[in-house]
Chains A and B, each alone.
Chain A
Amino acid sequence: MIVISQNLIPIALYASVEIIKMAQAYLIGEDIEMYDERTDIACIPRSWNLGDDLGQVEYVFSDKTGTLTENVMKFKNCTIAGREYGQPEGDWAYKGQAEIWQDTLTILEVKYGANEYAAPEFDFLGVALARTLTSEVKEERERAVDFFTTLCLCHTVFIDHTQLGMTPLAISCRNQSSHIPFFH
């Protein structure tokens, strides 16, 4: 068929269309609009010849966080009574992640005693939250306590008894948590 129609469609056209697609794939890969600074990854066009299909896309469906983020849920922020926690702020903001978490645990320990279940390392800027949880102002403290009491009581989580041999510390090192901006 190609041989018959070569008078109408020059064979070279196939080659040049391929080259055009290659160039398009290159441009997609270099597109600064699709570059993610946090992960240092730009768009990766895995196929040269899908560029023309892209123009036919009418609907883009996306799932909630989880599918694309490998289901790793990290607790990053929370807002309690209008105050946001988990942000770098105050006199401790310059410290390292590990040190901030140690400070967080120490502040809690002084008031409430050691928490044997706490993870020794945790990626959360919790000093402000720990100060609120140990605050002398009853109303302020109780709101934060209520917040986490609710987290403790309002859920559908079960304890997996088959894994009871594992210490809680070893489990918390999995470091899974979540972001929930509002709560009441």
Chain B
Amino acid sequence: MYLAQSPDEIGLLEMARNLGFVFLSRTQDSITCKILNKTRTYRVLHEIPFSSDRKRMSVIIESEDGELLLLCKGADNVIAPRTNPEQRA
């Protein structure tokens, strides 16, 4: 059972889970996921929480093979200008 402040997040996670991207557990500094039948644990190095000013949240994550990723999720009008113009429809 997922618990979140907003039902949007639960909705997104349930969709991801249905497609095989399953959020399994969270500790203080890690998230364990099953991504297309491979269970992986990611270290959460930093989290910038959602705020109504930024209209997005970000996490900095280290994967098992040491790759560092910044992942960002937010409102369309905030994310779209930050995407690569060549990839926009």
Residues of chain A at the chain B interface (Cβ within 8 Å)? 66, 71-75, 79, 81-84, 104, 108, 112-113, 115, 117-119, 122, 124, 126, 129-130, 133, 145, 148-160, 162-164, 166, 168, 171-172, 174-178, 180-184
Contact = CB atoms under 8 A, between A and B. Distances in A.
A177 B14 contact: yes
B21 A149 contact: yes
A182 B73 CA distance: 9
A145 B21 CA distance: 9
B73 A183 contact: yes
Interface in B1-43: 1-26, 31, 33-37, 42
Interface residues of B, number: 52
Given A117-B22, A154-B57, A66 B7 contact: yes
Contacts of A74: 11
Residue of B6, B18, B73 with most partner-chain A CB within 10 A: B18
A85 B41 CA distance: 28
Contacts, number: 169
Main secondary structure of the interface of A (DSSP, over half): loop
18 contacts: A73-B10, A84-B89, A112-B36, A126-B19, A148-B21, A148-B35, A149-B21, A149-B33, A149-B71, A153-B71, A154-B58, A156-B5, A157-B4, A157-B26, A177-B11, A177-B12, A178-B7, A183-B73
Given A82-B89, A160-B2, A171-B1, A152 B10 contact: no
Contacts of B12: 75, 151, 155, 177-178, 180
Residue of A82, A119, A149 with most partner-chain B CB within 10 A: A149
B18 A82 contact: no
Contacts of B1: 159-160, 162-164, 166, 171
Given A171-B1, A178-B12, A151 B89 contact: no
Contacts of A83: 89
Given A148-B16, A177-B12, A178-B11, A153 B42 contact: yes
Contact of B21 (A73, A79, A152): A152
Contacts of B10: 73, 157, 176
Nearest to A155: B9
Given A82-B89, A156-B50, A172 B17 contact: yes
